[in-house]
Amino acid sequence: MGFVASLGFMTQPASPSSPSANELLKLASPTLAGNIAATLADGTAERFSDDDTQFLKFHGIYQEDDRDLRKTGKKYIMLIRIRMPGGVISPAQYLELDRLSDVYANQTLRITSRQTIQFHGVLKSNLGATIKGINETLLTTLATCGDVVRNITVPASPGIGAVGRELLAQANALADFLSPATPAYHSIWIDGTELNLKSEEKSKDFIDPLYGKTYLPRKFKFGFALPPSNDTDVLTNDVGLIAIVEEGKLVGYNLTAGGGMGRSHNNPATFPRLGDVIGFVTPEQLQQVALAAVTVHRDFGDRSNRKHARLKYLLAERGVEWFRAEVEKRSGVTLGAARPFQFTSVSDPFGWHTQPDGRKFLGLSVATGRIKDTESQKLKTALRVVVERFQPEIRFTPGNNLILANIAPENEAALTVVLKEHGAILPEQVSAVRRASTACVSLPTCGLALAESERAFPTLIGYAETALAEAGIPGEEIIIRTSGCPNGCSRPYVAEIGLVGKAPGKYQLYLGGNATGTRLNRVYKDVIKADELPGEFRALFTRFAQEREAGERFGDWANRILFA
């Protein structure tokens, strides 16, 4: 912690507005303990207080309610998110998460857009046992939510070999380096006790060595990428690290900054943004430069308006040169000139592939990232059998999909048989547009949701599949992302087609992103009803099939023709 301590803490620049309510909460309980332990122990309490729901986020927990049941009264349930940089876990860890989801959650595992797993539907009475169980697998939920550095994304494909393993190791080291130091998490969830700092005053005097007493103004996201693949959508992160490989060796990273998807309807001061390329850093410089970038956000981010509190607004308003100078001053590193790179795809690897070490891996398409059993498709059971029998490494992708890695070649056929026996849909059975597309969770549990997303996804993508077939291009890959609200957790603003919830059954229609995640799309229709989408898709895809240039993708055609 020597370098962290040496940074000190700057005085927040004067703001014309008062601190937000969240800032005052953090200041009052900088350990992040709040009254969580007392409420947890109170068997008569149905829910945590509104104040404690903000502290719970730092512990990886969202208090939600089933909005389908609100007419008969709120039924409070918990979402739990697990930290796993790069989305890689062992067979033993996967099997325990699978078990915990059956015992304490809603019998599903949800792959997130940041390569981790969420449990849904956990009751307050089961919260302690669930989180303790997660920690006993040597995983944690700390810092997967809240105003801190979130789960770090890393290229998922085992096909990239030694460089991929190096990126994963550096991401894990960076996650540990930037993790909050509060003793409250261990005290509450592992020891099962209230944090004992002897006095209220001592608790209020706690200062996190990196984050200070009030942590960050908002969340902060890091992502790694390895060209030519941009499977992590690296430019949508607060800070991106684009790996530069020369002669087979990782020589460093192009640093990007200022990406972010969130916005609010009818508020033009909020907007999605792609990160700017800032400069080049070596692996040895990575941690101190990353830390400097976080402290820029910590010290200059807007603490009065949370809708204006992401790093992207600092980059948009103060510029790249200002940010570079601040990072260099704080880190003591002079950034080099950015190295050339090019992205060609954001797609996950589907189907069977051979790893550089000769072993095999299988990329599976998981619809909306929801690992579950249905009457006809027992994907959750199939994966449990596969992991028990063949012991693969499990990797989750930012595209909400799953990779089974390190499989002996002689087991390929037997593993495939297990999946087929349980009715699991193999990648070759899924259309290109469905494989390429994603959706956020949205209703019924997300409190921010304005329209359906995950539950509507099969129908909405079905509209697209039908329209593509009618246009004579049934095998066309088009990236479609749906989000139940403008916060954009599914990263809809870099999709070729983005559907953003605006009201029940109504969406904003965005068009014109590209296949490499390097261009934002634009609003094509401010409001479109869900039942109008079949006709809209039919008209768009028919024009596309007739007017496209050779090899042109839908997003490029839309950007060239519809916004000319």
Active site positions, annotated: 81, 150, 219, 221, 440, 446, 485, 489
Alpha-carbon span 353 to 358, nearest angstrom: 10
Q: How many CB atoms lie within 10 A of CB 528?
A: 18
Question: What phi and psi, each to the nearest 5 degrees, are found at residue 529?
Answer: -75, 150
CA distance 106 to 97: 12
Closest CA to 155 of 387, 295, 332, 345: 345
State how far the Cα of 369 lies from the Cα of 454, in Å rounded to an integer: 9
How many other CB atoms are there within 10 angstroms of residue 375's CB atom? 6
Which segments of 183-248 does DSSP mark as H helices, in order? 184-185, 200-204
The CA angle 158-134-34, to the nearest 5 degrees, is 125
Query: Cα angle at 256 between 295 and 320, to 5 degrees?
Result: 75
What three-state secondary structure class fits 225?
A: strand
Do 225 and 243 meet the contact criterion of CB atoms below 8 Å apart? yes
Of 60, 61, 135, 98, the C-alpha closest to 402 is 98
CA distance 187 to 193: 6
Strand blocks (E) in 133-226: 222-225
Quick check: 529 and 452 in contact, CB under 8 A?
no
Which residue shows structure tokens 């410089």?
285
Residue 215: which region, alpha, beta or left (left: phi > 0; alpha: psi -120 to 50)? left
Give the residue from 238, 271, 233, 277 showing the smallest Cα distance to 255: 277
DSSP string, 468-506: HHHTT-TT----EEEESSTT-TT-GGGSSEEEEEEETTE
Pull the structure tokens for residue 322: 């200002």
Output the CA angle 420-426-430, nearest 5 degrees: 135
Q: Where are the alpha helices (DSSP H) in 277-318?
A: 286-300, 311-318
Cβ neighbours of 280 (radius 10 Å): 18
CA distances from 100 to 14, 81, 126, 133 (A): 47, 13, 10, 7
On the 0-12 / 13-18 / 19+ scale of CB atoms within 10 A, 523 is middle
Element (H, E) at 394: strand 393-396
